[in-house]
Structure 1
Amino acid sequence: MGSTAAEDQIKPRDVCVVGVARTPMGGFLGALSPLAATKLGSIAIKAALQRANVDPALIQEVYFGNVLSANLGQAPARQAALGAGIPNTVVCSAINKVCASGMKATILAAQSIQLGINDVVVAGGMESMSNAPKYIAEARKGSRFGHDTLVDGMLKDGLWDVYNDFAMGMCAELCADNHSITREEQDSYAIQSNERGIAARDSGAFAWEIAPVEVSAGRGKPSVIVDKDESLEKFDPAKLRKLRPSFKENGGTVTAGNASSISDGAAALVLVSGQKALELGLQVIAKITGYADAAQAPELFTTAPALAVPKAIAHAGLSASQVDYYEINEAFSVVALANQKLLGIPSEKINVHGGAVSLGHPLGCSGARILVTLLGVGPQTEGRQNWSRRSLQWWWRSIRACCRARVSIFYLVWCGNGNSALVGMTKSPFFSLPPSLFTE
C-alpha cells in the first residue's frame, strides 16, 4: 500500500515512538513495595528498549517523571537509566509536575528531537508511593522539649494543595459541586472503570504493554513474578457504593472507591527521529504531532483538561470530530466526568481500558502510563482513536504505507492532571519504514 499524502509520510524531524513498556501497577504496600521507584523505572526502560530493538548505547538523553523523590538518593532519573544499561555519559533529568510528570517528560523528549538536539531519547515516569518516607521536618533545628510530629512525605509532597491547605480530594469535591456531579454518578463511573480494566486484562490487552517484574520473596523462597495490575483484584462493586466520603464529612461525594488508588509503578517510551527510524529500520508504533499546555487556579486543576485538549488538537492541525478516543486521567472519577461533560465526549470514547481509578495512580508514572495504554488500544480497536488526559494531550497519526495488510488510522489524545497536553497518531498494524516513506 503506497503513501497517499504528505501527512502520511515520516519526515526527518518527526517524533516516532518505537518502543513502550510499563510495569504492572502495584497496590499500596503491595507486591511491588519491596522495590524502589528507581528500580521500577529501570525495569520499564530496559523492557521498552528491548521491545524497540534499540541499543542502550544509542540513547542521547533521558527525561523521567518522579514526584516523591525523598530517600531515593541523588538524581533518580539517572539511577533508573543506569540501572537499565544506559551509558553513564547520557544526560538524565527528573521531571516533577505531579500527575503530569511522565507526560511532560515525554513532551520535553519530543521537543528535543524536533529541535534537532537529539535523535534517540527515553521518556517516562516512575513512583513508589509505598516507599515515600515519613520525616520530622524540624529535626535538623534540634528536637527539644515536647513531642515531635512526623510529616507524611506522600501526603505533603504529592497529595496536598499547598495553596488552600487541604487534601487534593477537596478539589474533587469542589469540582463535583461546580458541575453538579453526584455520588451515584461517580460510583457508577468507578465501577465502569474497573469493569473496563478487568475486561482488558482478561482479553490479554494489557499483556502487550506490561513488563513482568520479579520480586524477591525473602531468604530461601522463590521469587514472585508480578504481571498483573494489583488493584483490579480487589474490586467489589457492592462495597464500593457503601464507602464513606473520604474528604468532606457532610455531603461529601468522593470516596476511596471512586478516587484513584495509591500505587507503585513505572512506564517508559523510546522516541526517535524519523531519520533515525529509517536508518535503523525500526518498527514505528506512533508519531507525535502536537502538544499544548493550559493552567488555571490550582483548586480547579480537575478541569484543566478541558482547556488543554482543544489546544493540543489545534496544534496537531486536527479537529475534535477526527478524535476517536480520549484518555483522561482518573485522579478522581469526577475529573473524567467533568471533562467529558465540558468537552462533549461520549462515554464510549474515554478510557476504554479503564484508568487510574481501577489500575492505580503512581504519581510520577501515570502521565506516561496512559500513553502506553492508549497505544495498546489502537492496534486492538477498529477506527480512529483519540484519548485525552488532563495535563497532556498527544496526537499520533499513522502512516499509510509499506504494509500489505489493511491499515487503520487512529487519532489519539492524552491529558493528565497538570497543565499540558499531547497529540499523536498511530496505525494498525504497526509498521516499519522503507526508504520510499522518507520525505523532506
Structure 2
Amino acid sequence: MLKYWRDLENTQYLSEDETRQCQSRKLADIICYAYENNAYYKMRLDAARVDPFKLRYPDDLDRIPILTKRDIRQYQDTLISKGFASGGLMEAKTGGSTGKSVYLYFTEECSEWRNACARRHDRWSGWEVGEPKAYVWGNPKYPVGLKNRLKTFLLSPILYLDTMAVTKDSVHQFAKEWNARKPTLLFGHAHSLYILAKAVIEHGIDEIRPKAIISSSMTLLPHERSLIERTFGLKVFDRYGCEEVGLIASECEMHEGLHINADNLYVEYLNEDGSHVAPGQYGRLVVTDLSNRAMPFIRYQIEDMAVPHKGTCKCGRTLPLMKEVSGRIADFLVKKNGARIAGISLIENSLTKYPGIEQMQIIQHDLDHITLNIARDESFEDGNVQSLVATMRTIFDSDIHIECNFVEEIKPEPNGKYRFSICHIRERVDSSFTAYSC
C-alpha cells in the first residue's frame, strides 16, 4: 500500500490535462482487458457492436452499456475475469446505496490501491499515517491474521464504538478508552457521528477531543453536520464511496465540494436518457473502476445522484469536484431501555447475514412495534424469516411486535433518496433528549 500512497501524494497535483490523459490511458487499458478476458464484457460489447480497441477515451465511453446491480446478480460468474477464481480473491457483500445485496470480488493489489487512496484522503483532514483512529460504526471488523493485525497496528490502531447499541454506558466506555488510547481521527457513518454528538452533549463528556472528523457511508444532512461541528469544535470532512468501487470523493480543507478519486475512478453524471448533464445539474452517477481487473466495474450505475462542479479548488489539488451527493439516509432506532441503534448498521448486518435479501427497510412505529419491508430473490429461504425476527428481538426486545412485509422493491423517496430506516417516534425522543437514560 505504501508504494501506491507515495505516488498518489504527487498525482493529486498533476495538471488537469495530465489527469485526463492518465484517465484516458487507464480507461482504454481496463476496458480492452475486460473485453479480452471477461465473458460478460465480451458478450455485452459484441452485442452492442462495439470494438473497444477502436474507441476514443473518454469521448466514446457512452457506447459501452451500463452495468447495474441486477446485472451483477444475474451474471455473477461471468463477471469474474479469466485467470481468477472467486476462491482466491478477496470477497465482500454489500447492500450498496439502495440496500440491494451483491457479492463483490477483487484482488489484494486492488484492495491495497483503494486503501492507499483512502489514506491520502484521510490526511486531508489533518490525520497522519500511524496515528490511532476511532470508528463509530456497526458490526466492527477486526483484523484477522498476523499480517493484517501487524498492518493495523503500524498504520492505524483502531478504537470502536459499536453503533448497533449506543447506550449511556457504551458511550462512557468509549470515552474512557479514548482517553487511554488518544486517537486523533474520529471516523464514522454520518448519522452515527450525529448520535454520538448528541450523547456527548447530554452526558457532558469532555474526553472525546479528536484532531479530525470524517463522515462517510450516507448523506450528511445539514443539521447533523452543524451539531457534530458544534459539539467537537471541528469542521467535518465528508466523503462519499461505496463497497463496489471504494472511495469515490472527499472534502478537502477548503470544503468547497468533494474531490473525486480520479486516479482510480472515472465518474460520469447522466440524465435519464443517458446523455451527460451540464455542470451544476443533478445526474445519475455512473462510475468506472480503473484498477479491478478480477471483477471489472465498467460504467457501473450506483443509483445515487450528484452534481458535477466545474472549476478548481483553492487547495491547489486538481482532482475534479462533485457537489450535493444525494443517496443514502437513515433514522436512528430506539430500544425500550433508551439505547439508540444506527439504522444503517442494522441494515448492513441483516443484508450480509441472511442470503436472498435484495433490499430491506426498517420502520419503527413505537418502542414495541417495528415493520420489516423485504425484497427477496429466489435464494431466500423461509427459515430466514424466523432467524431474522429472532435477531431483531435480540437487538430490540424479546416481546417487540414485528411485522414482515415482502415487497417487489423498495422505492426511493420523491427526493431520490433511499431510506434504510424510518423512526416515527424520532421527534418524541429528540425533544426529550432522554434516549440514554439507562
TM range (shorter): under 0.3
- Compute the TM-score of the two structures, normalised by the length of structure 2: 0.26
Higher strand share: 2
Larger radius of gyration: 2
TM-score calculated relative to the size of structure 1: 0.26
